[in-house]
Structure 1
């Protein structure tokens, strides 16, 4: 069994009589990247400060590399754990090289001087954190994101087996967020143990080996990102509804959260969505968030929109991958449209095979057509595609994606009042059914 680099056993911390951590216990295996996730005030920073010895718990113990931090001197503890704090503000006009050099302090004898090895460690740390070009600049004159990377370099120069990071990407642009977390992943591959408080759940899922979900001062879930980031766990911790899907590029968990409980204005009707090629996925998440009963199709069985529909528990009409929508499938789509209070058409790429979807939607009483820019850029069905799109727009309401929920609510309310079926049946196809 691999030894635990960090062992937190029954740790409780309170400030002014208010509990912040309540008997928290967790073990972190050496050579892993563990993310602390959870809402503001959950105790993530307090747990990091307890692990690095900056806070003494009211009860419980913390051991790092089988050493109790409470029994170690500050210098000895600093040889085991390096920390990059969330706040990196500095009132001293030290240049960047001097700030990074401070990371070597635990390794220098009290009356000794820095060795060539210390200086090499500093230069290497600045290179890895991409701040070597800032070496001679006062730290007070660099940007917040640059300063965060400077303090990361200081932690790298400290050369400890355990690295703690408190919101390491909070002040960074997207490029440096990814570069920073790629660097952290490299450090883990080299054998270091990293624990980081991360507010971006998608980034946490992408880079961390394991997560600890904190809420109310306790760990609510622990394990792989896929096992921790579930809709029910996120709702319980963040008081927000959430849908968890698989990111189409990274293959890791991706979280879409929606604040608050459903209110009286939320739709409660049935909506059929015509999708394909992931065009409907963001619409499905928005509609699911307000409580509508969804059906989707027809789409290929392996289409991203089909995967989203399954994740959301939506009723689904499928065809084999790359197969056309035949008469039987079109009839299944029309049945669902008849039962629906509204029909939404995503900005899909149109080919001969899925033209029946558009023709069926154009027969609906109030199709809602989501604008996707110039139709010709996604039309692969020539004049038949143009005729189907024109008829659909003539019969329907064209909206921006951001307005879909509002328009669906109005449609559902209208159907509730007049009982009219959304499929009129008076549309004549401009060609034979496939």
Structure 2
């Protein structure tokens, strides 16, 4: 099944004025009793676009989706579906414009899977209408696309949580709407089905539909979404393409976590490695461990994955990092490039040119502390110039190849409290 098939492609996706976004939210505010959940939320989803909602638990992602779907009324603001105020639409008309896949997969009644998917046709039927050929086609193709046709006659109570999630996706596809709302669509799925689900959504979007998905996996969001909206502390903290939104500062602000953002070599999309900002050994005891007053200039000497890990952790903690000398193509050099950190490289398996050694020496002299990782500067270090780099350093901390995050940050933090040259 592809996005070009009648049920899953452009049946209703091209309806209406193409200049009007299928989903538009303006100044949305929702409270539960006296407790505000979201306030002043603005977002829009264009045709042919997949927008990801990300944020910590309790940030209001599900609340925003429910307000768009019409299952709760906002306190203020407006939701428009294909240009019309959602509040002006009947439930049946809204159901022809937007379909939802909820996060909750519990279904109390012993319906067959096929019957659950057939419920997606309800907005297209009159009160006493039965299913016609178009309805049967839509149900069949939706089940095929979601991969649930093989257990179509099984009771919904007899399938796994992940299978239920796919059944609910099939139900939404059977509605043949121009827009989809998905609340953690991959939360209950194994890796294979999670990828298949987002690949399917991507196909539908590329075929002209609009989709808004709450996604907890930041790497998946970066890989599949055209835009990302970060919800935190009751409002939108950042919005835009993944490469501009998924930054260390934005993630620290939204999730209260230190993060290193690099580029996946497999997909070319941003990839996020998060660290708990409250870990023992963080730069400061206060929650704001990235305070510039606590940051240091740290030069990393070492190579391979251990040195790369050190660069990532130090950069995520807010330190200004430099690296070298490392072999060209080394893992540490790649991480340094992702961190926009100065790096000195030299051809592998060859003598280090004197000018490259001098560059690394200058970086070490300018640093507050040098972190020597693993064998750096010791017997077995293939880059003899690293000894000259260490000799130029005022303070040196050493960590082995299996260092813990806390060990590294503690050593850097304490480097100006004691003589830790380690020479």
* TM-score, structure 1 as length reference: 0.79
Q: What is the number of residues matched between the two proteins?
A: 388
Segment drifting more, 324-333 vs 261-270? 261-270
**In structure 2, which of residues 384, 389, 394 is the aligned counterpart of residue 356 of structure 1?**
384
The structure-2 alpha-carbon separation of the partners of 1:224 and 1:288, relative to structure 1 and needing over 3 Å to count, comes to closer
Q: Which protein has the larger Cα radius of gyration, Structure 1 or Structure 2?
A: 1
> Per-residue displacement from partner, 1:189-234 (whole Å, max 9, x unpaired)?
1111000001111111110001111112211221111121122122
| Higher relative contact order, chain-length normalized (CA < 8 Å, sep 6+) | 2
Alpha-carbon separation, structure 2, partners of 1:345 and 1:422 = 13
Segment drifting more, 307-316 vs 177-186? 307-316
Q: Secondary structure at the match of 2:39?
A: strand
Q: Secondary structure at the match of 2:104?
A: coil
Alpha-carbon separation, structure 2, partners of 1:52 and 1:268 = 45
Equivalent residues of 1:274, 1:357 under 8 A apart: no
The structure-2 alpha-carbon separation of the partners of 1:323 and 1:163, relative to structure 1 and needing over 3 Å to count, comes to farther
1:18 maps to 2:35: yes
> What runs of 5+ residues in structure 2 fail to find an aligned partner?
1-17
The structure-2 alpha-carbon separation of the partners of 1:164 and 1:366, relative to structure 1 and needing over 3 Å to count, comes to closer
1:319 is aligned to 346
The structure-2 alpha-carbon separation of the partners of 1:83 and 1:308, relative to structure 1 and needing over 3 Å to count, comes to same
Equivalent residues of 2:326, 2:346 under 8 A apart: yes
The structure-2 alpha-carbon separation of the partners of 1:115 and 1:275, relative to structure 1 and needing over 3 Å to count, comes to farther
Equivalent residues of 2:45, 2:211 under 8 A apart: no
1:171 maps to 2:172: no
1:406 is aligned to 407
Q: Secondary structure at the match of 1:33?
A: strand
Alpha-carbon separation, structure 1, partners of 2:193 and 2:358 = 51
The structure-2 alpha-carbon separation of the partners of 1:321 and 1:228, relative to structure 1 and needing over 3 Å to count, comes to farther
Alpha-carbon separation, structure 2, partners of 1:71 and 1:412 = 59
* TM-score, structure 2 as length reference: 0.81
Q: CA deviation at 1:161?
A: 0.5
**In structure 1, which of residues 105, 114, 122 is the aligned counterpart of residue 131 of structure 2?**
114
2:324 is aligned to 297
RMSD across aligned positions (CA): 3.2
Within-5 A mapping of 1:71-86: 71-86=88-103
Q: CA deviation at 1:357?
A: 5.5
The structure-2 alpha-carbon separation of the partners of 1:57 and 1:75, relative to structure 1 and needing over 3 Å to count, comes to same
Q: CA deviation at 1:180?
A: 0.7
> What runs of 5+ residues in structure 1 fail to find an aligned partner?
371-399, 424-434
Segment drifting more, 251-260 vs 404-413? 404-413
Q: CA deviation at 1:289?
A: 4.2
Q: Secondary structure at the match of 1:103?
A: helix
Q: CA deviation at 1:301?
A: 6.3
Within-5 A mapping of 1:165-244: 165-244=182-261
Equivalent residues of 2:283, 2:409 under 8 A apart: no
Within-5 A mapping of 1:283-432: 283-290=310-317, 294-299=321-326, 305-312=332-339, 314-319=341-346, 324-330=351-357, 332-333=359-360, 340=369, 342-345=371-374, 354-356=382-384, 368-370=399-401, 400-401=402-403, 403=404, 405-406=406-407, 409=410, 413=414, 416-417=417-418, 419=419, 421-423=421-423
1:33 is aligned to 50
Q: Secondary structure at the match of 1:4?
A: coil
1:429 is aligned to none
1:66 is aligned to 83
Q: CA deviation at 1:272?
A: 4.3
Alpha-carbon separation, structure 2, partners of 1:263 and 1:102 = 54
The structure-2 alpha-carbon separation of the partners of 1:75 and 1:241, relative to structure 1 and needing over 3 Å to count, comes to same
1:393 is aligned to none
2:107 is aligned to 90
